Amino acid sequence: MNDEEIIELFFERSEQAIKELDIKYGKVFLSLSNKILNDELDAEECVNDAYLATWNAIPPTRPNPLLAFVCKIVRNISLKRYEKNTATKRNSRYDVAMEELEDCLASSTTIEKEISERELTDIIESFLESLSKENRVIFMRRYWFSDTYADIAKLVGLTEKNVSVRLTRIRNDLRKYLSEREVLL
Amino acid sequence: MTAKHFSNALGNVNEKYVDEAATYTPKTKKKIWVKWVSIAACFSLIAIGITIGSILHSPDTTDKGNNIASYFVITAQAANGESMDLSVADSCLNSGTAQGNIFGVDMPTFHFDVRPSDIKSNEAIYERFDISISYNETVVEWNKDEHIMVAYLISTQQSDVPWAYSIIGWFTEPTDVVINILDKESRKTVESITVNVTYLADKQEYELKVTDLTTEFPKQ
């Protein structure tokens, strides 16, 4: 079933919409959530919560693309659960990916421009635009989806080492990009 | 800024970026990256240099082997001979031992092994190897004690030895390499490709940038 048909089912308030969404993308959502939480049961709960949120959002929203729309919900719910869980454990793939970014984003001084999340999102989007498609995908798969190097290497057809090198370069570029915009001082 | 701050902002990027990453499929390439194993540890830099000189700079060389250069390849290899990544045409997926006689010059014997399972998934599997390469964009990286080999693959038109390398050279220092593509009949240069082998001092890596790469070889 294509995305438009699934969305139509949501608009008809048919519970089949959730089933079809799960059949088509359920594994993607579960994988995404599990990479953040490192706990299958928690991940399943988050995906179910995301389905409920999707059910509440459609209608009136008519998402395009559907996959990205629900992925965002899954990620947000999973991150909230993650924050709740982090007091007791820090061992997910998300942690590892974030530690890489900490090194990249850490300011050498305590002076740092206050920047709103929206402004930062705009800057990140413009940075993403500056990347080649393949590098953009690599970056997003690593820091949005929390994919491992092996996952990314398999997806884009590169070696793990090549992915690692590329990510290092992208992070360096990101740091430079943010510094030039005085986000990092 | 904390990673969490960044992550939250990243979470709000336009859905087109999420969708692009979620649905990404690599371009179908004419050439597939494969792994060649256990080759060329015995390659001699000096011999290769002589070979290269013979291949590239002797337009009058007689084609004793009736060879036809078919595909252009940029490749790299660790000096210890552990591995090789290269680009080949589908039709030459094979395994065995090959020894080329290219434009009348004997090439060293080498063994290659291409695993169909790797090819089918368009995924080269790397184990303990230190080098890798991307086609037509970036990159060769390897440890500083390794060498980079720039070469192209040719068809020998011989059933027992169908493919062989024509090696442009081995490099351990930053350099510009000009690859001359010869017309198969006249053996005269019909096109040149410049390959920049640069050294990234801070990372102890080399980078191979290919400019103006021609996929079909020779250019008709």
CA dist B84 and B68 (Å) reads 23
A141 inside 8 A of chain B by CB: yes
How many residues belong to chain A?
185
Q: Is the ipTM of this complex over 0.85?
A: no
Q: Are A157 and A43 in contact (CB under 8 A)?
A: no
Quick check: A21 pLDDT over 90? yes
Give A71's contacts in chain B (Cβ within 8 Å): 18, 22
B135 inside 8 A of chain A by CB: no
pLDDT value at position B172?
54
Calculate how close chain B gets to A107, using CA atoms only, in Å. 7
pTM of the predicted model as reported, rounded to 2 decimal places: 0.49
pLDDT digits (tens, 9 = 90+) for B13-59: 888 899 989 888 765 433 323 222 222 222 222 222 223 333 333 33
Calculate how close chain A gets to B1, using CA atoms only, in Å. 6
Q: Is B132 within 8 Å of A155 when comparing Cβ atoms?
A: no
- In sequence order, which residues have a C-beta less than 8 Å from that of residue B89 and are 6 or more positions away? B30, B31, B70, B71, B153
Give A184's contacts in chain B (Cβ within 8 Å): 1
CA dist A140 and A147 (Å) reads 9
Quick check: A97 pLDDT over 50? yes
Option in B4, B22, B33 nearest A157 (CB): B33
Residue B81, Ramachandran bin (φ over 0: left; ψ between -120 and 50: alpha; else beta): left
CA dist B105 and A102 (Å) reads 55
Option in B8, B18, B141 nearest A140 (CB): B18
Option in B5, B11, B20 nearest A136 (CB): B20
Place of tokens 């740092």: A112
Query: To which H or E segment does residue B210 belong?
Result: strand B205-210
B106 inside 8 A of chain A by CB: no
pLDDT value at position A73?
92
CB pairs under 8 A between A and B: 128
Task: Give mean pLDDT, residues A26-52.
Answer: 90
pLDDT digits (tens, 9 = 90+) for A114-153: 577 788 888 999 999 998 888 899 999 999 998 888 888 8
CA-wise closest residue to A6 among A99, A73, A70: A70
pLDDT value at position A127?
92
More confident residue, B192 or B128: B192
Give B23's contacts in chain A (Cβ within 8 Å): 65, 67
Q: Are A17 and A5 in contact (CB under 8 A)?
A: no
Q: What is the CA radius of gyration of chain A?
A: 18
More confident residue, A149 or A105: A149
Direct distance between the N- and C-terminal alpha carbons of chain A, in angstroms, rounded to an integer = 50
Quick check: B136 pLDDT over 50? no
B8 inside 8 A of chain A by CB: yes
Option in A65, A121, A137 nearest B12 (CB): A121
Task: Give mean pLDDT, residues B61-66.
Answer: 31
Give A75's contacts in chain B (Cβ within 8 Å): 11
Quick check: B161 pLDDT over 80? no
A114 inside 8 A of chain B by CB: no
Q: Could you tell me the pLDDT band of residue B167, with boundaries at 50, 70 and 90?
A: low
Q: Is A67 within 8 Å of B19 when comparing Cβ atoms?
A: yes
More confident residue, A98 or A112: A98
